[in-house]
């Protein structure tokens, strides 16, 4: 079993930065992709960023150039560095992990992911 615990959310003003962390415990081996999703009132969650086999990454168009996904395997932790935050980035952010290989075109879709954290709230104000 795998447990994911997010942290690092908070309330900031537009233009500021936050770094989210996702601590992974349990079966930390044998996985392929990890990703960050966010949920606002309405349909979702929406894929924000994904990382596959530690090096290959992809981002939603809305966050390209502002957000960076990374992971530290020694610490079993996934990160999301969020710079130049905008009001529309306000959401509950979740990390997710897949235990099977996912085709790249599906990395930002929620369905293929097997494990999810409880979420951390990010609120951006003007």
What percentage of the chain reaches a pLDDT higher than 90?
A: 78
Q: Which positions ≥6 away from 65 have C-beta within 8 Å?
A: none
Region 60-78: mean pLDDT is: 94
* Chain mean position to CA 32: 15
Region 89-106: mean pLDDT is: 94
Check residue 116 and give its pLDDT. Answer: 97
Check residue 14 and give its pLDDT. Answer: 98
Work out the pLDDT band at 55, boundaries 50, 70, 90.
confident
- 32 or 62: which carries more pLDDT confidence? 62
Region 9-26: mean pLDDT is: 97
Q: What is the DSSP string of 60-121?
A: -TTTTTTEEEEEETTTTEEEEEE-S--GGG-EEEEEEE-SS---GGGTT-STT--EE---EE
Region 5-23: mean pLDDT is: 98
Check residue 30 and give its pLDDT. Answer: 62
Work out the pLDDT band at 61, boundaries 50, 70, 90.
very high
Which 3 state secondary structure label does DSSP give 84?
coil
Of 90, 86, 106, the C-alpha closest to 98 is: 106
């Amino acid at each position: 079993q795998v447990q994911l615990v997010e942290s690092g959310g908070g309330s900031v003003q537009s233009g500021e930065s936050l770094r989210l962390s996702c601590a992974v415990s349990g079966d930390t081996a044998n996985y392929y992709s990890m990703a960050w999703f966010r949920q606002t009132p309405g349909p979702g969650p929406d894929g924000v960023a994904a990382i596959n086999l530690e090096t290959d990454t992809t981002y939603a168009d809305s966050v390209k150039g502002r957000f960076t996904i990374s992971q530290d395997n020694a610490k079993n932790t996934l990160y999301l560095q969020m710079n130049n935050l905008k009001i529309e980035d306000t959401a509950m952010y979740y990390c997710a992990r897949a235990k099977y290989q996912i085709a790249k075109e599906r990395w930002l879709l929620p369905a293929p992911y097997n494990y999810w954290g409880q979420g951390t709230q990010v609120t951006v104000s003007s």
